[in-house]
Structure 1
Amino acid sequence: MPVSATKTLRVAVLADSDTRWKWGALTANRIAPGNPGNPENPDIRLDGYLLRGRATPTARQLEEVGVRADALHEVTAVQFLHAMREEPYDVLVLALVGGGVQAMLHGLGRVWQDGPAGRPKRPVVVTGYVGVVYEKLADGLLLRHGADLVLANSRQDADRFRTVYEGVGADAGSVTEVALPFLGGAAHTGEHDPYTVVFAAQPSVPESRKDRTYLLNRLIEHARRHPEREVLLKLRSKPGEHTTHIEELPYQKLAQRFDPPANFRLVYGHMGEVLDRTDLLVTISSTAALESLHRRIPTVVLTDLGVREALGNHHFVGSGCLASWDQLDAGHRPVPDEEWVSRQGVATGGSYATAFDAARARVAGLLDRPGGLPPLAPYYTPVTAPGYLPGLLARHHLGPDGTPLPGAPAADKEPGPVRQIVRRAARGAYRHGVQRVAPVIRRMGEL
């Protein structure tokens, strides 16, 4: 009988933000052999590790994500590597930025090479992307190379990923097509009362005060033009919190300068719950657009600021969803291109239930591999990238060979109460600097 079918699997997820924790935990549940397709897989034990940094999720953000773990720890990179030396996990999901994935691959390679002799097997290592991949394709992919599975959220991404790996002579066998793990919910079947328009905001797109103020003004004006509608601004985080990207100019602060009508509101919470009452989803390039399309909700990707790589809305060329606020105010409703939607892993025809079958089968096969798995083999090594790799590793207090640098935080020691207070204060000061001081300095520089 296969190993994967004889016991509860132990799965670990290392994440560096709330959105990556959501992706990593849901992915772990969907790809682990056991109860297929269940986003709360009862056949695994899920341990979460939150990488300490500027975007470490708050308790409120974790509650909003709504994904439960059997244990949850906040760790440094070195502390995490120590845990991986001691804990016999079956599957490890690295839900990190590319540089973090690369550092952990090298650190883990060293840990498992020098690990306990009585534990010859290492976990299956999985990584991927939280949403749409519209920038730094080659850079991000090569930083993720070396994992056993590099997940692609669509057929289009899988093809692109393999092309990049094969183009540099790297093994492309790790690329595995899946779908976004958080798609779901009931399909949109008719308009609500009141008709509800939702703008899904993004922390870093667009960046400038002018552009963000423009979008907010158009949303509020849409509410004034249509008093019979409910118009919602869906926000990712509250002031002082960070998510995957830094938000220097929160819409909450910009909204204080407006006098919006009564049918305009700011909302937080789980995106799926907001989509339950949405009749029109509007965004610049948020992954929420794919969630909305999956549920057949009319979806608009705005062109007001142009169709540009810097905005990410170029990814939606050919989708049938591109439109402007002027068109929406005039009553335009987009009709998505079904072929484009299918290529993006948005399985509206019922195939979503099988989207993770291939990944689940690959994980099961690797778990049952006689003699265990070979050492991790990233494309970047001190030979292939001697001027790049050491800096990536040093950011996580690792040397060029993956071992902790002198002075790295102790792996077996939790900070005392005073240090915890200082750490929280430092994190708050950083966020204050990003959201208050940095914009002022930038404006002064433009004078």
Structure 2
Amino acid sequence: MPSRTSSTPRVAVLADSDTRWKWGALTAYRIQPGARLDGFLLRGRATPTVRQLEEVGARAATLREIRGVDFVRTVDRTEYDIVVLSCVGGAVQAMLHGLARSWAGADSRPVVVTGYVGVVYEKLADGLLLRHGADVVLANSRHDADRFRDVYRGVGADGAAVVECALPFLGGAPHTGEGTVGTVVFAAQPSVPESRADRTYLLGRAAEHARKHPDREVLIKLRSKPGEHTTHIEELPYQKLGTKLPGGLPANCRLVYGNMGEVLDRTDLMVTVSSTAALESLHRGIPTAVLTDLGIREALGNHHFLGSGCLASWDELDAGHRPAPDPDWLARQGVAAGGPPSGGGSYESAFDAARAKVTALRTADRLPPLAPYYTPRTAPGYLPQILARHGLDPHGEPLAGHTEPDARTGGLRQVARDTVREAARGAYRHGVQRVAPAIRRWGQL
């Protein structure tokens, strides 16, 4: 069993997409520097590909794909000091119940940490209550920490687990541009906006901006390639829309992939609808525009940027406008405009409280049992379906048919199983990206 005072803690990170793997792994290193990290990728529609993992760049000592029900069995409480659940809310809730059942009556257990991968602009109460029960619920800003505690207080749940920190992937060299714009980056999002018309409009405006400014390079930064999934489903990839854009993309406008931090190294103007990339950009002092062309609406998430000073339209950007962010708004969002200041500024100390809390819990003589707010008594019509999606019954035990571990066998049998699984994923993605939208269109006729 690892020592509770060990100088090299072991951390297990469970993630269900490329962006959540990035958040979970980098958060683990922020709150426990020098830790040994074992990665687990939750098997599902958004399980990241090798290419996506390489693009994210967060490293682990080991990395494997796993079912949720097997993760509950695999995470030996005597082997790990900390478990980071970097998943969608329902998966977090299922793992909390499964781990609580697995560790029931134990003298000691790992510290369980969870949180959000970026801007929280929808399903605030739903997502938070599904995360309740973890020892630490990280809030990426003072703004979020206040909201999180209000939600827990409102249902009579304990909000002591909420700890303010910051997004773990902010950083990079401060922007040094002197008023000129050489490279414009449009940070595309998989599901915002949703409609073909709106997505085609945004792509067209980016291309038009490039034509009006032939001295600029306009980059359409994409999160995934067709067939890959990320945190959200992308039914209408910009890659496909670009092939049908009247006039196509001009020579100085192109689609790019890669690590966002590396793309920001050469960015002079960041444009997005509501991507968390806006916070990365603002942190480095890069002029950042949050588009209003499609309205300021909760469905788009750009309402989160009210008061930021960053709201602007493509027409304004075409005319030379460069938004100036509001310092007070940035401070509440955990963003240090201009990049992390030297000498230990606000961003460097943003993880101090989380690091101290996790270390105190890790070295405590005993931790109380995990106790999520949702139970078969408080949510009998909701909790069972959440847990069942991950092979667990309402009490956190494996359901019939999920009791045997998904052991990996060698040779041809494993190849066959992997082939079938990849074929099933391909069929699912085809259904999501092609068949489902067509059915919705037919339904509107």
Under a length normalisation based on structure 1, what TM-score does the superposition of the two structures give? Answer: 0.94
**Of the candidates 405, 424, 437, which is equivalent to residue 411 of structure 1?**
405
Greater mean alpha carbon deviation, residues 391-400 or residues 3-12: 3-12
The equivalent of 1:394 in structure 2 is 388
Question: How far has the Cα of 1:7 moved from its partner?
Answer: 3.1
Q: Distance in 1 between matches of 2:174 and 2:296?
A: 28
**Of the candidates 44, 50, 64, which is equivalent to residue 55 of structure 2?**
64
Q: Distance in 2 between matches of 1:241 and 1:192?
A: 37
The equivalent of 2:353 in structure 1 is 358
The equivalent of 1:200 in structure 2 is 187
Question: How far has the Cα of 1:410 moved from its partner?
Answer: 2.5
1:23-422 map, 5 Å: 23-32=23-32, 41=33, 43-85=34-76, 88-113=79-104, 120-190=107-177, 195-258=182-245, 259-348=248-337, 350-370=345-365, 372-408=366-402, 410-411=404-405, 413-414=407-408, 416-422=414-420
Which whole-Å deviations, capped at 9, do the CAs of 1:16-39 have from their partners, x for residues lacking one? 00000000000000011xxxxxxx
Which whole-Å deviations, capped at 9, do the CAs of 1:33-75 have from their partners, x for residues lacking one? xxxxxxxx4x211000000000000000000000110000100
Question: How far has the Cα of 1:6 moved from its partner?
Answer: 3.5
Paired positions, count: 432
**Of the candidates 422, 428, 439, which is equivalent to residue 437 of structure 2?**
439
Check conservation: 2:77, 2:109, Cα contact below 8 A.
no
Question: How far has the Cα of 1:11 moved from its partner?
Answer: 0.3
Q: Distance in 1 between matches of 2:385 and 2:406?
A: 25
Q: Distance in 1 between matches of 2:330 and 2:347?
A: 13
Q: Distance in 1 between matches of 2:174 and 2:385?
A: 47
Check conservation: 1:82, 1:412, Cα contact below 8 A.
no
Change (3 A) 1:88 1:3: closer
Q: Distance in 1 between matches of 2:354 and 2:219?
A: 37
Question: How far has the Cα of 1:191 moved from its partner?
Answer: 5.0
Q: Distance in 2 between matches of 1:59 and 1:406?
A: 32
Q: Distance in 2 between matches of 1:191 and 1:211?
A: 33
Q: Distance in 1 between matches of 2:378 and 2:301?
A: 31
Check conservation: 1:3, 1:367, Cα contact below 8 A.
no
Check conservation: 2:290, 2:312, Cα contact below 8 A.
yes
Check conservation: 1:191, 1:279, Cα contact below 8 A.
no
Change (3 A) 1:6 1:419: closer
Q: Distance in 2 between matches of 1:77 and 1:425?
A: 21
Q: Distance in 2 between matches of 1:432 and 1:216?
A: 23
Check conservation: 1:179, 1:356, Cα contact below 8 A.
yes
Q: What SS class does the counterpart of residue 75 from structure 2 fall into?
A: helix
Check conservation: 2:78, 2:109, Cα contact below 8 A.
no
Question: How far has the Cα of 1:5 moved from its partner?
Answer: 5.2
Name the aligned partner's letter for residue 61 of structure 2. Answer: D
Which whole-Å deviations, capped at 9, do the CAs of 1:66-107 have from their partners, x for residues lacking one? 011000010001111111137610000000100100000000
Question: How far has the Cα of 1:417 moved from its partner?
Answer: 2.3
Check conservation: 1:85, 1:111, Cα contact below 8 A.
no
Unaligned runs of 5+ in 2: none
Which whole-Å deviations, capped at 9, do the CAs of 1:273-327 have from their partners, x for residues lacking one? 0000000000000000000000000000000000000000000000000000011
Q: What SS class does the counterpart of residue 354 from structure 1 fall into?
A: coil
Change (3 A) 1:27 1:244: same
Question: How far has the Cα of 1:409 moved from its partner?
Answer: 6.2
Unaligned runs of 5+ in 1: 33-40
Change (3 A) 1:271 1:47: same
Question: How far has the Cα of 1:3 moved from its partner?
Answer: 5.7
Q: Distance in 2 between matches of 1:227 and 1:91?
A: 52
Q: Distance in 2 between matches of 1:419 and 1:317?
A: 49
Q: Distance in 2 between matches of 1:6 and 1:21?
A: 25
Greater mean alpha carbon deviation, residues 66-75 or residues 411-420: 411-420
The equivalent of 1:36 in structure 2 is none
Residue 424 (str. 1) matches residue 415 (str. 2): no
Check conservation: 1:192, 1:277, Cα contact below 8 A.
no
Question: How far has the Cα of 1:120 moved from its partner?
Answer: 2.5
Change (3 A) 1:45 1:127: same
Q: Distance in 2 between matches of 1:4 and 1:185?
A: 34
